[in-house]
Amino acid sequence: MELWKRNLIVCWLGEFTTSCGMSIVVPFMPFYIEQMGIKDLSTVSVLSGAAFSITFVTAAVMAPVWGTLADLRGRKTVMMCTGLGLAVSNFFYPFLHSIWLLMLMRALQGVVSGYIPSANALMARVTPEKKTGWALATLSTGMMSGSLLGPVIGGYLDTTIHIRNTFFVTTASLFLSFLIAALFVKEDAGERPLAVVTHAKPGPLLPTIDGKLLFVALMATTCLINVANQSIEPIVSLFVRQLFVQSHTGTGQISLFSGIVISATGVGILLSASLIGRLADRTGCMRVLILSLLFSGILFVPMALVQNAWQLMALRFLFGISQAGIMPVVSTLLKKTSPADVFGRVFGYNQAMTYLGMVLGPLLGSLISARLGFSHIFWITAGILLGNLALVAAARRKLPAALSPRS
């Protein structure tokens, strides 16, 4: 088997176990906080949101740092360090009895969250040019599969072995990510950056990029598509309840439908990512990106007009398909516009934009719903995505010659 195909399988498994381990805690984090003696519902809600947000904030700050280290010391080395760091930080969760220690450990988890961008950078480096779109799209399904399965496993384990014991399963999953990187990822001399040998210090990133406006547009796209995806999450249960009332449906299945609505986007990505990646390799990344952004922006208009939860679920599924034509394509274009010896930093900054969007999205959604109502979230998000489309279209006119005409 070719080395890049072997690494694709290995990195897919590593991203799956990492995202699965990190998302196992999603269903029961509020209950874990209650076990620390905090009983006021509003306080639990605020602290639960803070516990998730602080991880994304520290991860966003550290992602470029891990990317730089990946360029200097090798992607495999960073995957091993961060995989082990995640496992160690999660090992201490069962022994915590203070909310402030929990916040500290959640922040530490964000600090060592460099596994996935390093795996992406590794695959961007070793994959043949004509296979990049498909490979990176396929790799993204590993992370998405883990993110979808993790909460299901967490919810099941909470009812069988209790919350604190569940963290040992999380630790095992993340330690498995470390073992996968240590034992099976292969970096030969051709994949290692020159800095490993020369000990050169990294210079400014932007001057090395072909097509600086496109680079800025791609980073903005990564942030804004995550803002769009996450904007509904804080209010999805409340919105689904409103739809149940409007459609005169009983309210006994609100939690179930809320989970389905959130997961529908991930299912759409999972089912379509590899196919759209192949399409991007054949027809051109910019074409797929522009059409996907247009489709995404348009989809948020009917979301504002839905009359029942099934309609919202179907539109979120279609949004997942359109999102599958955005994130892997952005990664492919970043590879095309960046020299190989800065892939780590480029994908580190891209991951930082992902985390930034995951922080800003819920904040934006909560603010809009509180001030203007639920439907305005979708109208404003549609405007954000169509504005993003205009930025990408403007950057397309200044594409470097190396990216034309089929990129």
Alpha-helical (H) ranges within 74-131 are 75-91, 99-111, 115-126
**Are 305 and 402 contained in the same domain?**
yes
- The parent domain of residue 35 ranges over 1-187
Is residue 196 situated within a structural domain? no
How many angstroms separate the CA atoms of 119 and 322, rounded? Answer: 23
Is residue 197 situated within a structural domain? no
**Predicted confidence band of residue 317 (pLDDT cuts 50, 70, 90):** very high
Burial 18-55 (b: 16+ CB within 10 A, else e): bbbbbbbbbbbbbebbbebeeeeeeebeebbbbbbbbb
Backbone φ and ψ of 392, nearest 5°? -65, -40
Is residue 39 situated within a structural domain? yes
Closest CA to 76 of 205, 208, 147, 177: 177
Q: What pLDDT, in 10s, does the model give residues 362-399?
A: 888 878 887 888 888 899 999 999 999 999 999 888 76
**Are 122 and 23 contained in the same domain?**
yes
Q: Find the mean pLDDT for residues 69-77.
A: 89
For the cut 60, the answer to whether the pLDDT of residue 191 exceeds it is: no
**Are 100 and 22 contained in the same domain?**
yes
**Are 232 and 303 contained in the same domain?**
yes
How many angstroms separate the CA atoms of 136 and 121, rounded? Answer: 10
Domain boundary among 154, 187, 220: 187
**Are 239 and 121 contained in the same domain?**
no
Is residue 265 situated within a structural domain? yes
Is residue 195 situated within a structural domain? no
pLDDT, residue 195, reads 52
80-89, 201-210, 220-229, 294-303: least confident range = 201-210
**Are 263 and 167 contained in the same domain?**
no
CA 208 distance to own-chain centroid: 26
**Are 307 and 341 contained in the same domain?**
yes
Is residue 360 situated within a structural domain? yes
pTM: 0.82
**Predicted confidence band of residue 190 (pLDDT cuts 50, 70, 90):** low
Closest CA to 153 of 142, 167, 143, 137: 167
Q: Find the mean pLDDT for residues 212-228.
A: 91
Specify the number of domains making up the chain: 2
Is residue 158 situated within a structural domain? yes
Q: Which residue bears the tokens 């795996």?
A: 119
How many angstroms separate the CA atoms of 126 and 369, rounded? Answer: 45
Cα dihedral 11, 115, 33, 240, rounded to 10, equals -60
More confident residue, 50 or 295: 295
Domain boundary among 141, 161, 187: 187
**Are 120 and 215 contained in the same domain?**
no
**What CATH number does residue 225 fall under?**
1.20.1250.20
**Predicted confidence band of residue 143 (pLDDT cuts 50, 70, 90):** confident
**Are 323 and 220 contained in the same domain?**
yes
Burial 64-81 (b: 16+ CB within 10 A, else e): bebbbbbbbbbbbbbbbb
**Are 44 and 141 contained in the same domain?**
yes
Is residue 143 situated within a structural domain? yes
Q: Mean pLDDT score of the chain, rounded to an integer?
A: 85
User: Residue 195 gets which letter from DSSP?
Assistant: H
**Are 100 and 231 contained in the same domain?**
no
**Are 173 and 207 contained in the same domain?**
no
